[in-house]
Amino acid sequence: MNKVDIDLNAINSNVNYFKSLLEAETKMIGVVKANAYGHGIVDVGRVIWTSGADMLAVTTVAEAVMLRVGKIRAPIIVLGPTQEDDFQRLLDFDITTTVFDFEMAYKLSKIAKQENKWAKIDLKIETGLNRYGIKPHEVTENIRRIMSLGHVKIEGIHSHIADSADAAASKEQIKQIHSVLFSLQQNNIEIPMTHLAATDATVNFPESHFDAVRIGIGLYGYGAFKDYKDVLKPALELKSFISSVKVVAKNETIGYGRTYKADDAIRVAVVPLGYFDGYARVFSNNSEVLVGGKRVKVVGRICMNSFMVDVTGIKCGVDDEVVLIGVQGNDRIWADELAKRSETIPHEILCRIPDHLVREYHFK
């Protein structure tokens, strides 16, 4: 069976690592968007919450509702855009949403007033990513206007580091947040919870912590900060099995487009998992998996539902386990290795693992 194994103890360990970097009063927001980076939003969200996260963050209202339906009572913030059709669900499920401009706050306040409820919002500030948000010099006036609406409570303000590898640029963004906070103070406006840092900035720039940090990829065992492999534990393993074994003669080709030609007779195993299942076509003739505790090469193109590997010299047969991400024997292949092979980041490798693959959760 194709499946995804999730080590919940690894998640717990990663939460504790990031908590150890923070002052006691600094909150940790666990980011569980994109199905908890492919790990399973409800099961993993619950463990992140019970392991010590103070809040959970998602991208959509639908994700937030999934957490609520899963009986997770943690404070939840929606970081992405919210449309008017979802305003009612924000109120019904006690969800905080990010607001990018005054107009959205105004529309939300009208719905909240009709329901005789208070909507919770977090104001996004644009400091360098140039995606969403209000410019720093416009924040004070916008907060003043939003506060005058009624039925809207500003729970926080936040921005996002654009490039944590660029110290100068990151510190400039930190400086912009300080300027916003100074302006609010000068205008006698109560400063709400302020958050800026994600995984790498949390490690690299302690001065970026403010009142809270948002930890995403780090919870799942990856990062771009120095020595992350020494302190974080990858939680996800992607596994399949051998469905067929055959001998391919010298000079025969393998797969669509005949992109691989055997220099000698080789033994080939078929793995019934393909790009539909999250193993990208870019890995054609460009990756390895684990069979019998050994690395074996992918040969030929990745198909929609299968791919082939060279198992010459490996003792293996039909139904034997194949590890695409994870540990087998004394070797391991993690998502960051696959990311390098495909010139992307671990985030993409993980969150593209589709929902139809069975996820099994363990406290290893």
Q: Which residues are catalytic?
A: 33, 256
List of long-range contacts for 337-343, beta carbons under 8 Å, 24+ apart: 338/283, 338/287, 341/282, 341/283, 341/286, 341/287, 342/280, 342/282, 342/283, 342/286
Both tokens assigned to 220: 């799942």
Letter for the amino acid at 4? V
Distance CA 334, CA 8 (A): 16
Measured CA angle at 37 (ends 31, 42), to 5 deg: 70
Distance CA 76, CA 56 (A): 5
Burial class (CB in 10 A: 0-12, 13-18, 19+), 356: exposed
Q: Which of 319, 333, 336 is nearest to 241 (CA)?
A: 319
Q: Which amino acid is at 106?
A: Y
